[in-house]
Structure 1
């Protein structure tokens, strides 16, 4: 059964984790608009023999550090807290926004990472020089969302955001109560975009990633996510690459069975 624990980080902050099982430590990082709960289905399907640890990066919604001035290292600090807790290297799995954090951790502290799995990491900064067209597309999305937020149009901002990753009309198809709860939660995460465009992640920094890498993408994901995965495959030529057929970006929720098979098979090896 999964249990919740709060750890102290090296920077003197706290981070909530959800864990289950015993054995090899496998650490999971969620998306920017989600929580550790994104991994619930994957945890339920995972074979015995591993200690699964999901970091809940935003805890009570506040996030680490100072709002408006956070960077990726505020979140890698949470990964280091887990590595301290298990007293050894971890297999690190990062999805979406968590994938950008995982990349930063693997580049800065390679000795802590036994293996690195990236599930469509939103490392937008890599596109600035590697694919300016895709970079312009996602920057345009960011700027439109920011304009909506500045004008108090939170629903319009997140309708465009959700539809970008899940297809036109996705946000409108949610029940009203779900839309309201989602928008309410996201209002404390308005600095998310700044973290993902952070210059701490560059194509040159990928040379510092020495752990074995497994890159996973969905066959039906966005053009921007395909572009980021293409950049990573160019700069991490030895990375294993898996495509989850029929999956879009939110595959931990929509395609947990094939995703779990891909993740657990790699860790078991």
Structure 2
């Protein structure tokens, strides 16, 4: 494990918030997948792929993908059953990872710089561990890797629904009592350490996306099935066998950046350091004053760390500076509204 470095802040563009990057539906193995493209703004940009978390969508990467467009030609996907992508028959980590692998193969853009947040981080670990040929570098933001103490996550409130027959129907009835505006505020409170970082524009975008979800019959079953698949993956991780995510993580060969928010309410803060210890070529960045979605709450800090890793791995080994063997912690001061985007739980 190495200390994460930060690139210069003035490397990145300044200006107002951009709307989500345009999306397009593509046919992949008989099902439609939504892909949002962030065009590169400079020659020589390398391909990147962004994978969102549980209940999220490709819009979770709008700001970070825009900041990195000078280095990376980005694509963000909606996982099956989320955003605008069609539902799937299975919602396990393995099934999601297979879908990401198939998209990289289908698009012909591999190897890619792979980014994953929360559930998307767990998926990305499996992709990088099983298909190293498809991943140039790996960036994990609050990855939902296995931990066994449910008190460490506010998601534990949804766990009883997994044991109730037809829990999706109960969840749907409960949702009808919550307006999209109220749900957006609940999501902000659980995902962001400082809700003031969410601009009104981003909040309204989140409300509209939640409103659309309420109209999709498959959304609640997809959410609960994905949560069930995540819990099952957690339990299997501590049993013998090659399928453990921790064992897969130990086989990752790609240079990796692991980012954790000190005020994360959804993933145990101890997971990020453990991931950095397990993954051989890793860098750890712990952010004080940041929650579960650092790429949305403090996108410039995440972009600076990502570019620093890109610069490091692009240099020959002989030219790389010596690295301290500890993580860097960064305190993030309260930001003005407009510097973040709303993330689903």
TM-score under structure 2 normalisation? 0.62
For residues 98-146 of structure 1, the C-alpha deviation after alignment (integer angstroms, 9 at most, x for no partner) is 11111111122121111111001123xx22xxxx335775673332465
Cα separation, 2, equivalents of 1:210 and 1:169? 36
For 1:260, the equivalent position in structure 2 comes to: 303
More helix by share: 1
Shift in CA distance, 91/222, structure 1 to aligned 2, threshold 3 Å: same
Give yes or no for the alignment of 1:143 onto 2:143.
no
Cα separation, 2, equivalents of 1:165 and 1:213? 23
Point out the structure with max Rg over C-alpha.
Answer: 2
For 1:195, the equivalent position in structure 2 comes to: 229
For 1:133, the equivalent position in structure 2 comes to: 149
The unaligned stretches of length 5 or more in structure 1 are none
Residue pair 2:142, 2:293 contacting (<8 A) in 1 also? no
Give yes or no for the alignment of 1:210 onto 2:210.
no
For 2:6, the equivalent position in structure 1 comes to: none
For residues 124-171 of structure 1, the C-alpha deviation after alignment (integer angstroms, 9 at most, x for no partner) is xx22xxxx3357756733324656852621257x6877654447999x
Of 255-264 and 227-236, more deviation after overlay is shown by 227-236
Shift in CA distance, 14/183, structure 1 to aligned 2, threshold 3 Å: closer
Alpha-carbon shift at residue 248 of structure 1 (Å):
0.9
The DSSP-based 3-state class of the residue aligned with 1:208 is coil
Residue pair 2:194, 2:290 contacting (<8 A) in 1 also? no
Cα separation, 2, equivalents of 1:12 and 1:252? 32
For 1:71, the equivalent position in structure 2 comes to: 92
- Larger RCO, structure (CA 8 Å, separation 6 or more): 2
For 2:317, the equivalent position in structure 1 comes to: none
For 1:228, the equivalent position in structure 2 comes to: 271
Of 134-143 and 237-246, more deviation after overlay is shown by 134-143
For 1:106, the equivalent position in structure 2 comes to: 128
For 1:219, the equivalent position in structure 2 comes to: 262
The DSSP-based 3-state class of the residue aligned with 1:197 is helix
Aligned residues: CA RMSD: 3.6
For 1:246, the equivalent position in structure 2 comes to: 289
Residue pair 1:244, 1:259 contacting (<8 A) in 2 also? no
Residue pair 2:191, 2:266 contacting (<8 A) in 1 also? no
The unaligned stretches of length 5 or more in structure 2 are 1-17, 234-242, 313-345
Alpha-carbon shift at residue 25 of structure 1 (Å):
0.5
Shift in CA distance, 75/63, structure 1 to aligned 2, threshold 3 Å: farther
Shift in CA distance, 74/13, structure 1 to aligned 2, threshold 3 Å: farther
Count residues in correspondence. Answer: 257
Residue pair 2:111, 2:136 contacting (<8 A) in 1 also? yes
Cα separation, 2, equivalents of 1:82 and 1:257? 26
Residue pair 2:58, 2:78 contacting (<8 A) in 1 also? yes
Cα separation, 1, equivalents of 2:113 and 2:150? 30
Matches for 1:85-100 after TM superposition, within 5 Å: 85-100=107-122
Shift in CA distance, 223/193, structure 1 to aligned 2, threshold 3 Å: closer
